[in-house]
Each structure stands twice: as C-alpha cells, then as structure tokens.
C-alpha cells in the first residue's frame, strides 16, 4: 500500500480546524503537522482545499440482488466514492428481500473490493410482509448491524414492539420508514395546494407523523433504541425533539431535498421530483433546518433510490425515489454551510461522525492512528448537476440542472485513493 502526503490543506473534523500536512501510510493517518518532509509515494497539494473524514450514508438502495438494471453493488459503490462516501447502510427491499444470512453475505462479498464498507440492513419481518420476525441472531452473525422493513412500516404494532424488545438483546439498531400505508392510500406527492392544483392524490402528512409517534412510544415502552428514517415534516421533527427531551432513545435522519426543495417543483409533472416521503412545504423546509441546527436531527443521508428513465417516464405511475450519493455533500454545503445555517464542523458531525456513532463504528478523526477514510473537497467549486455524468446506473436526480457550490475531489478509503476528480 502506497503512502500519501497531503500538503498545506485545511484539515477539519469535529475538534480540529487548521492548515496542516497529513501523512497517510499503511491505511492509517501516520502524522499530522507542519512542513512534513518524507519520501511519500504520492504528494498532493492541498492549497485552498479541505480535508475531512469521509461520509457515511446510512440510507441507500443498491437494488442488488434482483433489480440490477437500476443499480448494483458495484455501480452503487462507484457513485458513493464520487460523492466522498466510503460507508453505507444498504436497505433490505431487494428481490429477494434481505431477510437471510445468505443475502447478507452476498452483498458484503460483492462489495469487499470496492473501497466502500457496505452494511446490508436485514429485514424486521420475513419477506418484509409484516408477519414472522426474522432470525436476528443469524442476520447479525452474517454481518448485519441494523434491521428495518424499509419502504413499509411494520403494520402490527405488537410485532414492532417485540422487534424493538429483541434489539436490546441482540444489539441491532431498528430503523423505521414512518408512513402509514392506509393513510397514503395511493398518494403520489405531498397533500396540499399543489396536489389539488395538479389534480392528483396527495400523501397526508399524518401518515408520517402518526408512525413517528408510534415508533417512539413503542421504543420507550421497552427502553430500546429507534432510528427514524428520512424526516420530512414539521410535526415529526417537533415530536422527535420532545421525545429526546424526555429521554427516549431516538435518533433520526433527513435528506438534502427535505431542507432545500419544496413541492412547488412538482408543477413540472416530472416524476424525478417524486420520492417517499415527498417534498413538502416551505414551512417544513424551515422546520427541518431548525431541527438540524438544534441537534434534533442527527444525520444527513440520501435515501439513494435509483430508477430507470423508462420507469420514471410517467408522472402519475412512476415509482418513488431519487438518486443522491453524488450530490449529498454539495447540496448540504449549498443549502446549509454557504447560507450560514451551520458551520463546517456541524456538516461533518451530521454526515461523517453521527452515522458511525449511532451504528457503533469507528469514529473518524484526522488524528494519527485513525483509519484513513477521508475526502478532499473544494468548498467553493461551483458546478451544475448533469445526470448523464453520474456514476450510478440511474439518473433520476432531484438536483438535475441545479448549480451547487462545493465538490468532493478525492476520496481516500483505508489509505487508498479510490476516486480522483482533480483534473476534471
């Protein structure tokens, strides 16, 4: 493994922000200092650039096995690296669903040489149909660290309570996609003025708020951890804030489109702006930003959900979901950092540190001895999102055509450069 010396770069983690030289050797950070001179195999000039821990995205869909025409583990990992991401939680709604040790091992084995740590999420119930609980001990032994019936909540509250209860014994994090499918009942976008204008069925926010409240009540009843996925409403954010103040062991996440975009985009009748939960209102966007600022929201994720152009062609019948791995850092910097909403250290906490902390993984830092999972970014680089240039198999980006500020240039995984766009 070659050594890398990064010279004169702004090194930032949650505790450090200074210009320094950073030596990487043997897959780890060997030295951080000034005027370092050594016989490194490669020297990178970091002038005017930022070095930070790599991103961990704890909510992606790689569609592998079963829907590899949309994405597979290899292309998903390539997209991750292009976004500065070296670790992901891959959701279980594959075909077949990820409810067996064999599927867990298949995904881990396929990802092992990519430079991205892929942690498959196991199902809460077999087949993700809400019936029999999976064998959590077997899933954990195969490499699973989290369980979820993502895409549909466990409708039976007692089964969900039991899964949470068992999580105290097996140590697996339970994550919930908080939407009541009976309330949604075929809705395709946020229920409100825009859905009425377009004449399409909307998704009432009560769907998300109700299940969010239910999951926290169930978790509290057995003193278990619960992780709430992709928070999008003012109501859910407020309830999570209250639950945290009462000592409920709840963590949560949101995605860049929920703190940057609104359902006004659906006026285009373009299914690339449809995802689940949907884009909401300006008031929701402000509430999500406030929840990020005050620590209610723990993580920024993408919910990377690839679909083909053919599948997204019809506005009313297309599947929900947008890709996001390659735009997450840029979108977050554009909406939150460059607007002065949060400092860079807070971005790193939300995207790099907290996901790993919640999952019990090594906490990244730019310190000697730490694993060299890092990214180099140009915070001031302005670029326009061109879906055709994305590394994902699918190009259904909600940020298409938008100019963002800030771009990952180099992704280093365990001391090895896995992505380099400095000359693009």
Let me know if residue 405 belongs to a domain: yes
Q: What is the pLDDT of residue 73?
A: 98
pLDDT bin (cut points 50, 70, 90) of residue 152 is confident
Q: Are 43 and 7 in contact (CB under 8 A)?
A: yes
- Each residue of 316-371: pLDDT tens digit? 999 999 999 999 999 999 999 999 999 999 999 999 999 999 999 999 999 999 99
Interior angle at CA 117, CA 383 and CA 288, nearest 5: 55
Give yes or no: residues 42 and 69 share one domain: no
> Quick one: pLDDT at residue 175?
98
Per-residue pLDDT of 113-149, as tens digits, reads 999 999 999 999 999 999 999 999 999 999 999 999 9
* Model confidence, pTM: 0.97
Write down the pLDDT at residue 415: 97
Residues 155 and 249 in one domain: yes
Query: Same domain, yes or no, for 168 and 101?
Result: yes
| Residue range(s) defining the domain that contains residue 201 | 58-359
**Residue pair 371/414 in contact by the 8 Å Cβ criterion:** yes
Same domain flag for 302 and 334: yes
CATH number at residue 144: 3.20.20.140
pLDDT at 159: 97
- What whole-number distance in Å separates Cα of residue 393 and Cα of residue 75? 7
- Give the per-residue pLDDT at 1: 77
User: Do residue 156 and residue 29 come from a single domain?
Assistant: no
Residue 177 in tokens: 């996609």
Active site annotation includes 303: yes
423 confidence band (pLDDT: 50, 70, 90): confident
- The total number of structural domains in the chain stands at 2
Q: Which residue among the candidates 272, 303, 373, 378 is catalytic per the annotation?
A: 303
DSSP H or E run through 91: none
C-alpha to C-alpha distances, 417 to 60, 86, 108, 231, 326, nearest whole angstrom: 22, 11, 21, 33, 17
Residues 406 and 260 in one domain: no
- Band (pLDDT 50/70/90 cuts) for residue 3 is very high
| 37 and 83, same domain (yes or no) | no
232 within a domain of the structure (yes/no): yes
Residues 311 and 410 placed together within one structural domain of the fold: no
Question: Do 73 and 182 belong to one domain?
Answer: yes
264 in the same domain as 313:
yes
Q: What is the pLDDT of residue 86?
A: 98
């Amino acid at each position: 493994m070659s050594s890398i010396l990064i010279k004169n770069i702004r090194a930032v983690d949650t505790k450090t922000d200074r210009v320094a030289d950073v030596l990487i050797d043997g897959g780890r950070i060997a030295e951080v200092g000034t005027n370092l001179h050594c016989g490194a195999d490669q020297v990178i000039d970091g002038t005017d650039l930022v070095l930070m821990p790599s991103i961990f995205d704890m909510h992606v869909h790689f569609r592998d096995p079963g829907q590899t025409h949309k994405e597979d583990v290899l292309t998903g990992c390539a997209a991750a690296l292009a976004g500065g991401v070296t670790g992901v939680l891959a959701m279980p709604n594959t075909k077949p669903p990820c409810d067996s040790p064999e599927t867990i091992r298949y995904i881990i084995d396929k990802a092992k040489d990519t430079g991205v740590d892929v942690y498959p999420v196991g199902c809460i119930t077999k087949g993700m149909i809400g019936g029999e609980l999976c064998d959590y001990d077997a899933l954990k032994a195969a490499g699973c660290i989290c369980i979820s019936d993502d895409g549909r909540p466990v409708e039976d509250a007692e089964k969900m309570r039991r899964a949470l209860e068992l999580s105290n014994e097996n140590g697996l994090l339970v994550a919930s996609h908080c939407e009541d499918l009976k309330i949604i009942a075929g809705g395709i976008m946020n229920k409100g003025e825009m859905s009425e204008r377009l004449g399409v069925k909307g998704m009432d926010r009560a769907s998300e708020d109700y299940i969010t409240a239910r999951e926290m009540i169930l978790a509290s009843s057995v003193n278990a951890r619960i992780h709430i996925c992709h928070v999008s409403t003012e109501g859910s954010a407020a309830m999570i804030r209250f639950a945290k103040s009462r000592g409920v062991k709840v963590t949560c996440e949101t995605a860049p489109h929920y703190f940057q975009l609104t359902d006004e985009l659906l006026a285009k009748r373009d299914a690339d702006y449809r995802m689940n939960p949907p884009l909401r209102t300006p008031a929701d966007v402000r509430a999500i930003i406030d929840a990020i600022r005050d620590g209610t929201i723990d993580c920024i994720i993408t919910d990377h959900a690839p679909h083909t152009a053919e599948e997204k062609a019809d506005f009313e019948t297309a599947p929900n979901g947008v890709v996001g791995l390659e735009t997450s850092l840029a979108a977050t910097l554009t909406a939150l950092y460059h607007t002065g909403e949060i400092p860079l250290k807070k971005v790193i906490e939300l995207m790099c540190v907290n996901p790993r902390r919640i999952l019990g993984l090594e906490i990244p830092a730019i310190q000697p001895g730490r694993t060299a999972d890092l990214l180099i970014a140009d915070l001031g680089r302005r670029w326009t999102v061109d879906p055709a240039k994305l590394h994902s198999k699918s190009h259904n980006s909600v940020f298409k055509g938008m100019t963002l500020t800030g771009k990952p240039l180099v992704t280093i995984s365990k001391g090895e450069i896995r992505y380099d766009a400095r000359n693009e």
